[in-house]
């Protein structure tokens, strides 16, 4: 969201390649004395003397090339032929011989030695002596090795430098390149906080309980952006504390919260100097497949970093606020970065370290969208930062959210064919507000809205999610169906202040 190396044939000249089989050379034959003219070739080297019959043989088995401790002794090279004698001319015959004997065969360098004549069995006492000699040799070699090791250790203690590198020195010299996950996380972590929310009820009671969430530094004045459902339990008479990665904690208070957007803004009561706000990116330019980094406190494990990609965009999501209040709606960024309860309110970063979304909800098996104690299954949802930024600025300015509206009530239960305008609104009111944006665009009860601003609409929640990505006053093209006929209209969005 690697291939193994294939086996290759070992080259013939590679040390590990098996030696090519060869026929044992013909044992050297002593040359027969012969009369040679003054211009004849120099006499050949004398044949080696046969080994004593009672000596133990050590060359009966050919030595394999490259075997440790066994190096074949080079044989004498054959004498060069006279320059004036043709290579195919027969050699002078020796006196008393029918034909010239063949020249002695000399093994090539590295070839196996010819087998020696079998030696008679040695007496038992000699075998015992041989074993004893081997044992003595082993003991002597061990003593020499121990002495050399002791000498080397003594020399090392006297200042000889060691080739061993301490593992503790490696991290100090290792530098993470800009843009790597480690570099991005190291820069962003100091600006990500863990939020502890506790309601104002009696201690030990259900109302006195709280939860853990995440937030991030929005500006140097000490504003922290998070999800509304993270702080909802402490919004009325509760307490909030914010803890930075260095362990320092600060009290905080709610500046404003928007239930529909699931966005809230806190402010540290005694904000420290030197706060570093996280840079904000552009969620409209995010593409499916872009890398993502999520930071938060899943299940209370603060400063946890996970990675993934953007797996989808404009995903309509409706989630609860965790306290039984109104649902929130978002046209979310979908990511497979591991997100769990406690990640809520934390930043979703791009590869440059800019915030592109606020982690808000997960898909949980068996419970639908929203906050659940189930673990991540690779479907997490974040509020696009462009929307969150507008909401945060409005909350800091007025303490209340402002929502764009079309002035029509739609069915929130049906799904798959669009958003149907209900027959009537809540409490028996008209489903299309008189003189509202939808009424001015010519929409009526029963119309099915199938497109909004170029995005397909398949339900009421998806329509609201798309509406809330805009601002009041924006003009948006709507596609709708009436009596089987498809039509289009342009609506100018109205506004609603506060949560109702």
User: What's the pLDDT tens digit per position in 131-164?
Assistant: 444 444 444 445 444 444 544 445 444 444 445 5
Distance between CA atoms of 369 and 380, rounded to whole angstroms? 9
Tokens 């820069």 locate to 187
Going 461 to 464 to 469 to 475, the CA torsion angle's sign is: positive
Please give the average per-residue pLDDT across 278-286, as a whole number: 96
Mean pLDDT score of the chain: 75
What Rg, from alpha-carbon coordinates, does the chain have?
45
pLDDT band at 92 (very low <50, low <70, confident <90, very high): very low
The three-state secondary structure class of 364 is: strand
Q: Which of 151-165, 373-387, 485-499 has the highest mean pLDDT?
A: 485-499
- Least confident range of 10-19, 196-205, 263-272: 10-19
pLDDT band at 207 (very low <50, low <70, confident <90, very high): low
Answer whether residue 242 shows pLDDT above 80: yes
pLDDT score, position 403: 95
Please give the average per-residue pLDDT across 5-25, as a whole number: 41
pLDDT score, position 41: 44
- Least confident range of 61-75, 152-166, 336-350, 414-428: 61-75
- Answer with the residue of higher pLDDT: 293 or 67: 293
Catalytic, out of 191, 199, 229, 291:
229
List of residues 6+ apart from 4 with CB closer than 8 A: none
Look up 223 and say whether it is catalytic.
Answer: no
Going 254 to 257 to 262 to 265, the CA torsion angle's sign is: negative
Please give the average per-residue pLDDT across 427-450, as a whole number: 94
pLDDT score, position 363: 80
Look up 229 and say whether it is catalytic.
Answer: yes
pLDDT band at 374 (very low <50, low <70, confident <90, very high): low
Look up 54 and say whether it is catalytic.
Answer: no
Answer whether residue 10 shows pLDDT above 80: no
% of the chain at pLDDT higher than 70: 60
Are the CB atoms for 326 and 229 separated by under 8 Å? no
pLDDT score, position 359: 97
Catalytic, out of 283, 302, 319, 344:
344
Tokens 């999610």 locate to 465
- Answer with the residue of higher pLDDT: 70 or 296: 296
- β-partners of residue 382 are 333, 359
- Predicted model pTM: 0.64
Answer whether residue 460 shows pLDDT above 70: yes
Are the CB atoms for 486 and 479 separated by under 8 Å? yes
Token pair belonging to 388: 């969150």
Catalytic, out of 233, 262, 283, 465:
262
Annotate 420-474 with DSSP letters as a single string.
EBPSS-GGG--SB-TTSHHHHTT--TT-EEEEETTEE--BHHHHHHHHTTS-TT-
pLDDT band at 114 (very low <50, low <70, confident <90, very high): low
pLDDT band at 413 (very low <50, low <70, confident <90, very high): confident
Element (H, E) at 488: strand 485-492
% of the chain at pLDDT higher than 90: 51
pLDDT score, position 39: 42
Distance between CA atoms of 264 and 344, rounded to whole angstroms? 11
Q: Measured over all CA atoms, what is the biggest interatomic distance in the chain, rounded to whole angstroms?
A: 140
Please give the average per-residue pLDDT across 245-271, as a whole number: 95
Q: What angle do CA 151, 155, 160 make, to 5 degrees?
A: 145
Classify burial at 84, counting beta carbons within 10 Å of its beta carbon; exposed 0-12, middle 13-18, buried 19 or more.
exposed
């Amino acid at each position: 969201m690697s291939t193994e190396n294939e086996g290759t044939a070992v080259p013939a000249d590679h040390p590990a390649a098996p030696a090519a089989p060869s026929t044992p050379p013909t044992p050297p034959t002593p040359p027969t004395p012969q009369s040679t003219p003054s211009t004849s070739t120099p006499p050949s080297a004398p044949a080696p003397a046969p080994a004593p019959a009672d000596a133990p043989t050590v060359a009966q088995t050919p030595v394999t090339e490259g075997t440790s401790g066994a190096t074949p002794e080079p044989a004498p090279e054959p004498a060069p032929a006279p320059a004036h004698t043709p290579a195919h001319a027969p050699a002078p015959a020796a006196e008393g011989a029918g034909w010239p004997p063949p020249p002695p065969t000399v093994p090539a360098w590295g070839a196996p030695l010819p087998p020696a004549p079998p030696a008679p069995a040695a007496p038992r006492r000699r075998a015992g002596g041989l074993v004893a000699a081997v044992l003595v040799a082993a003991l002597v070699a061990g003593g020499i090795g121990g002495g050399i090791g002791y000498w080397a250790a003594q020399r090392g203690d006297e200042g000889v430098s060691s080739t061993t590198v301490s593992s503790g020195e490696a991290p100090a010299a290792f530098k993470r390149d800009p843009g790597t996950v480690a570099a991005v996380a190291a820069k962003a972590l100091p600006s990500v906080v863990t939020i502890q929310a506790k309601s104002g009820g009696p201690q030990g009671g259900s109302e006195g309980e709280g939860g853990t969430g995440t937030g991030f530094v929005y500006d140097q004045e000490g504003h922290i952006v998070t999800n509304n459902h993270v702080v909802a339990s402490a919004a009325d008479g509760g307490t909030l504390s914010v803890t930075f990665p260095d362990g320092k904690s600060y009290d905080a208070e709610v500046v404003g919260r928007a239930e529909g957007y699931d966005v809230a803004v806190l402010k540290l009561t005694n904000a420290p100097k030197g706060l570093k706000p996280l840079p904000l990116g552009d969620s409209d330019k995010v593409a499916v497949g872009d890398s993502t980094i999520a930071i938060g406190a899943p299940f209370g494990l603060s400063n946890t970093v996970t990675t993934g990609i953007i797996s989808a965009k404009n995903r309509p999501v409706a989630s609860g606020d965790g306290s039984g209040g109104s649902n929130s709606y978002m046209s979310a960024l979908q990511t497979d970065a591991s997100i769990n309860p406690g990640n809520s309110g934390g930043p979703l970063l791009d590869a440059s370290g800019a915030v592109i979304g606020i982690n808000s909800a997960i898909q949980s098996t068996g419970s639908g969208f929203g906050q659940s104690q189930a673990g991540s299954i690779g479907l997490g949802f974040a509020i696009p930062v462009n929307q969150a930024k507008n909401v945060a600025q409005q909350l800091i300015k007025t303490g209340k959210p402002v929502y764009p509206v079309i002035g029509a009530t739609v069915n929130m239960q049906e799904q798959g064919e669009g958003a149907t305008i209900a027959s009537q609104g809540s409490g028996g009111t008209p489903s299309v507000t008189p003189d509202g944006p939808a009424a001015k665009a010519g929409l009526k009860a029963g119309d099915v809205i199938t497109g909004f601003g170029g995005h397909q609409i398949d339900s009421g929640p998806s329509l609201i999610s798309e509406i809330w990505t805009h601002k009041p006053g924006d003009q948006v093209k709507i596609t709708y169906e009436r009596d089987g006929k498809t039509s289009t209209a342009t609506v100018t969005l109205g506004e609603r202040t506060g949560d109702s």
